[in-house]
Chains A and B, each alone.
Chain A
Amino acid sequence: MFELLGIPPQALFGQLLIGLINGAFYAMLSLGLAVIFGLLNIINFTHGAQYMMGAFVAWFLLNSALGLNYWWALLIAPIVVGITGIVIERLLLKRIYKLDHLYGLLLTFGLALVIEGLFRNYYGSTGLPYSIPPQLAGGHNLGFMFLPNYRAWVIVFSLAVCLGTWFVIERTSLGATLRAATENPTLVQAFGINVPRLITVTYGFGVGLAALAGVLAAPIYQVSPLMGSQIIIVVFAVVVIGGMGSIMGAIVSGFGLGVIEGLTKVFYPEASNTVIFVIMAIVLLVRPAGLFGRAR
């Protein structure tokens, strides 16, 4: 067997796969961000907190009197958190659409700190346990690595969600209306379409995607108030690299950067939490609008 830079190919395949799995989380989170930015022009810094809320809702459901399991959480958590997103949009965000991006950033960032602080106050910082659903426990030996079933599920599920969202927004008439509403809201309204409601629902959907990623993450990471702030900065870098507001850009760069980060963990582990930002800096120098972005 040949070796590549001192790493046997088996190990390399394993690391590539792991990178793809982590990329799945990046892709799902950056997708929600891209949808919200693309259609609302709001930089949603609350996204990490909403991802964390998704995981917490899953935990509440399991530990409530109803004892609803993972599969129910997958359905209910995005709806519950999505509704809180709609409330936030109706009460706060809609007042600042006409202002500079900076205000939206400050508002959502402040909200994120408040939400995170509240959860930390009640649940501490170490987090709560959440087990892998029994149907997905265990794993398979692929020869080059041991692949837990749950991770395989994560990758398949998030790919489906990502491509589905891309299809709805880029290839259906609903998506066309959404895109038109961002380009020229007055004109679209003249066609009898309720644009403010469209925007509210879109925000709710983007937030729901974050919560869905949170439920997916719950069995792998601790359900912890800090889980959102750990990942959100990286996800923002992913969105910037992909091109702000570009759906396909978010998906491709999410998976791609997961892989790059995974490889860094093998070749130079100490740099694994900086490599994405280095790439971001390079991309911004070469293509300021991001890899898939259009200059506005």
Chain B
Amino acid sequence: MRKVLLGAAAAFALTAGTAAAQGISGDVVKIGVMSDMSSLYADVGGPGSVAAAELAVKDFGGTVAGKRIEIVQADHQNKPDVGSSIVRQWIDSEGVDAVADVPTSSVALAVQQVLKDKGKVFLMSGPASSDLTGKACSPTGVHWTYDTYALAHGTGSALVKQGGDTWYFLTADYAFGHALERDTGDVVKAAGGKVLGAVRHPLNTADFSSFLLQAQASKAKVIGLANAGGDTINSIKQAAEFGIVAGGQRLAGLLVFITDVHSLGLKTANGLVITEAFYWDQNDETRAFAKKFEAVMKKKPSMVQAGVYGAVMHYLKAIDAIKTDDGKAVVDQMKKMPINDFMTKNGKVREDGRVMRDMYLFEVKKPEESKGPWDYYKQLAVIPAEEAFRPLKEGGCPFVKG
């Protein structure tokens, strides 16, 4: 314990001392991967995100600017207070330079605030709320993989175009669900459709029958599921049970991950229209990454896990270019360098921290179309970055000029 304290004190002293000297603080680049390790989002991010970060470090060579790279991990249990206190401890006493992943928008919003105050880097892959690059943006925050705006403009507008002009939302009652409902509602209204109502359910609900009956009674053509993970799985499963799809209403899974499809099975999930930033079977590069990942995790990567790899890689490249791990300087450098990896072509980090990349619209295959486990998606369309993400000026990010 004493040794840890001494080490922590030394690390802290070094952090403080070298900020001006622009070197690598504490002679180590420490990345804290924080995720939901044991609950409803654990398969989407969780241990797989840690593995992805470790893969990135390994592929980068294990050192950057001559210094060691270290990965630490923590479970935020989907609680904002737990998340922000871990991050404070990481920075104040353990010399962590960057925090990666952090699914669950409410936790990410709290962590974003802490990291902004401390001037440390936030590599967001898991969280969805578009507010993270909007009114809650940070000069050291990078929102890597996707956001609620992109989901709304992908799945949302695809369904409106197919005639789904009246919507009812089943919304997870926290920051993410609210943001997704708002962004999708905007898309529906902009396309001339109508939002008939919404019901807010607590995070991590097992039984959706009550909510589904309310949605059924609304007679809306589309029931938008503004939830994720286990909540989405249970909603979809029980909607089938209550004959909602058979009754002519359509389900819009606004945030569905491949792990959810795997868990539901194609018999229940087929026909869902899904917006994702990555699918393992898109091309040789994505398949190569999936193979590396599968060797460690024994399953295919989700877009969140793939995003953690990409974000950590880009972060390390930026440090390598400017030989410092000072938060603001590194993120400024990340914004200067184009992103080219297995899942992002000619991407860039925008001023507000939003990563601009193409998104993809997929449809879940029918059981007879699938060749086996994890062969689940067929691509419907590519959504160019400029359409997928909110224009810079509309975000309301305070430090964006103009």
| Chain A residues at the B interface, C-beta cutoff of 8 Å | 11, 14-15, 18-19, 21-22, 117, 120, 124-129, 131-132, 138-139, 145-146, 148, 150-151, 220-222, 224, 226-227, 230-231, 262, 265-266, 269-270, 272-273
Q: Are A14 and B213 in contact (CB under 8 A)?
A: yes
Q: List 8 A-B contacts (CB under 8 A).
A: A125-B38, A125-B40, A126-B233, A126-B263, A145-B213, A151-B209, A230-B206, A265-B201
Does B267 sit at the interface, judged by CB under 8 A?
yes
Measured in the bound complex, the distance between the Cα atoms of B209 and A151 in whole Å is: 10
Measured in the bound complex, the distance between the Cα atoms of B128 and A174 in whole Å is: 58
Given known pairs A15-B210, A21-B209, A269-B200, the reply for A126 and B260 (CB within 8 Å) is yes
Q: Are A125 and B268 in contact (CB under 8 A)?
A: no
Shortest CB-to-CB span from B348 to chain A, Å, is: 33
Given known pairs A127-B233, A222-B230, the reply for A265 and B211 (CB within 8 Å) is yes
Residues of chain A within 8 A of B214, CB atoms compared: 11, 266
Shortest CB-to-CB span from A276 to chain B, Å, is: 12
Query: Which of A21, A126, A148, A227 makes the CB contact (< 8 A) with B229?
Result: A126
Measured in the bound complex, the distance between the Cα atoms of B242 and A117 in whole Å is: 32
Q: Are B265 and A132 in contact (CB under 8 A)?
A: no
Given known pairs A265-B211, A269-B201, the reply for A222 and B243 (CB within 8 Å) is no
User: What is the total of A-B residue contacts with beta carbons within 8 Å?
Assistant: 110
Does B238 sit at the interface, judged by CB under 8 A?
yes
Q: Are B40 and A226 in contact (CB under 8 A)?
A: yes
Q: Are B241 and A150 in contact (CB under 8 A)?
A: yes
Shortest CB-to-CB span from A112 to chain B, Å, is: 13
Measured in the bound complex, the distance between the Cα atoms of B238 and A11 in whole Å is: 18
Shortest CB-to-CB span from A99 to chain B, Å, is: 30
Measured in the bound complex, the distance between the Cα atoms of B201 and A273 in whole Å is: 9
Given known pairs A126-B262, A127-B230, the reply for A231 and B38 (CB within 8 Å) is no
Shortest CB-to-CB span from A159 to chain B, Å, is: 18
Residues of chain B within 8 A of A230, CB atoms compared: 204, 206
Q: Return the chain A residue nearest B217 by Cβ.
A: A11
Shortest CB-to-CB span from B386 to chain A, Å, is: 33
Measured in the bound complex, the distance between the Cα atoms of B210 and A151 in whole Å is: 13
Query: Which of B38, B211, B216, B263 makes the CB contact (< 8 A) with A127?
Result: B263
Shortest CB-to-CB span from B217 to chain A, Å, is: 6
Q: Return the chain A residue nearest B202 by Cβ.
A: A273
Contact code string B25-54 (vs A, CB < 8 Å = 1, else 0): 000000000000011111110100000000
Residues of chain B within 8 A of A273, CB atoms compared: 202, 205
Measured in the bound complex, the distance between the Cα atoms of B207 and A221 in whole Å is: 7
Does B259 sit at the interface, judged by CB under 8 A?
yes
Measured in the bound complex, the distance between the Cα atoms of B242 and A15 in whole Å is: 13
* Best-surrounded residue of A21, A150, A265 (most CB of chain B within 10 A): A265
Query: Which of A125, A145, A231, A272 makes the CB contact (< 8 A) with B42?
Result: A125
Cβ < 8 Å to A, chain B residues 169-226:
173, 199-202, 204-207, 209-211, 213-214, 216-217
Q: Are B39 and A146 in contact (CB under 8 A)?
A: no
Measured in the bound complex, the distance between the Cα atoms of B210 and A18 in whole Å is: 7
Q: Are A270 and B260 in contact (CB under 8 A)?
A: no
Given A146-B242, A146-B243, A224-B230, output 11 extra A-B contacts at Cβ < 8 Å. A11-B213, A18-B210, A124-B299, A125-B43, A131-B267, A132-B241, A148-B242, A220-B237, A226-B230, A269-B199, A273-B202
Does B402 sit at the interface, judged by CB under 8 A?
no
Shortest CB-to-CB span from B387 to chain A, Å, is: 30
Residues of chain A within 8 A of B46, CB atoms compared: 125
Shortest CB-to-CB span from A113 to chain B, Å, is: 10
Q: Are B43 and A124 in contact (CB under 8 A)?
A: yes
Given known pairs A222-B234, A226-B40, the reply for A126 and B242 (CB within 8 Å) is no
Shortest CB-to-CB span from B163 to chain A, Å, is: 23
Shortest CB-to-CB span from B201 to chain A, Å, is: 6
Shortest CB-to-CB span from B270 to chain A, Å, is: 13
Query: Which of A139, A222, A266 makes the CB contact (< 8 A) with B233?
Result: A222
Measured in the bound complex, the distance between the Cα atoms of B174 and A270 in whole Å is: 10
Measured in the bound complex, the distance between the Cα atoms of B204 and A270 in whole Å is: 12
Q: Are A139 and B211 in contact (CB under 8 A)?
A: no
Q: Return the chain A residue nearest B269 by Cβ.
A: A129
Residues of chain B within 8 A of A127, CB atoms compared: 230, 233, 263
Residues of chain B within 8 A of A21, CB atoms compared: 209
Q: Are A226 and B209 in contact (CB under 8 A)?
A: no
Q: Return the chain A residue nearest B268 by Cβ.
A: A129
Residues of chain B within 8 A of A224, CB atoms compared: 230
Q: Are A270 and B213 in contact (CB under 8 A)?
A: no
Residues of chain A within 8 A of B209, CB atoms compared: 18, 21-22, 151
Shortest CB-to-CB span from A289 to chain B, Å, is: 29
Residues of chain B within 8 A of A11, CB atoms compared: 213-214, 217
Q: Are A139 and B264 in contact (CB under 8 A)?
A: no
Residues of chain B within 8 A of A19, CB atoms compared: 210
Measured in the bound complex, the distance between the Cα atoms of B241 and A146 in whole Å is: 10
Given known pairs A148-B243, A222-B263, A272-B201, the reply for A125 and B210 (CB within 8 Å) is no
Q: Are A139 and B263 in contact (CB under 8 A)?
A: no
